[in-house]
Amino acid sequence: MGNYSLPNAKWECKLSFRTLISRYIKIQSSVVAQVRSLSSGACHATPGRFLMVQFAMSQVTQIGESISNMIYQINTMLGAAVRNQKGQ
């Protein structure tokens, strides 16, 4: 997909799905590594560390849901644009 920037803005914001998803995968992999480390031994599983990993897992879930919602909205918008073109 393409890059997008805001018109008439003093700063530029570019977003590509490739970058977004590759960074999400890195974050997700980091959390998986934390879970593996935590589960590898009881001595690593302090209550504070457990809560931090649980918080990181919920953040990864929220990021994934946001990406999914964004893709759904873009797909809906493209579908509407195609339907509008067929009507002309």
Give the separation between CA 47 and CA 55, rounded to whole angstroms: 12
State how far the alpha carbon of 3 is from the alpha carbons of 12, 17, 33, 52, in Å: 11, 9, 31, 34
Contact assessment for residue 27 and residue 19, using Cβ atoms and an 8 Å cutoff: no
pLDDT in tens, the chain (88 residues): 556 565 665 666 677 888 899 999 999 999 999 999 888 876 767 888 889 999 999 999 999 999 999 999 999 999 998 988 876 6
Give the separation between CA 4 and CA 23, rounded to whole angstroms: 18
Which sequence spans correspond to the domains of the chain? 17-86
Give the separation between CA 32 and CA 26, rounded to whole angstroms: 10
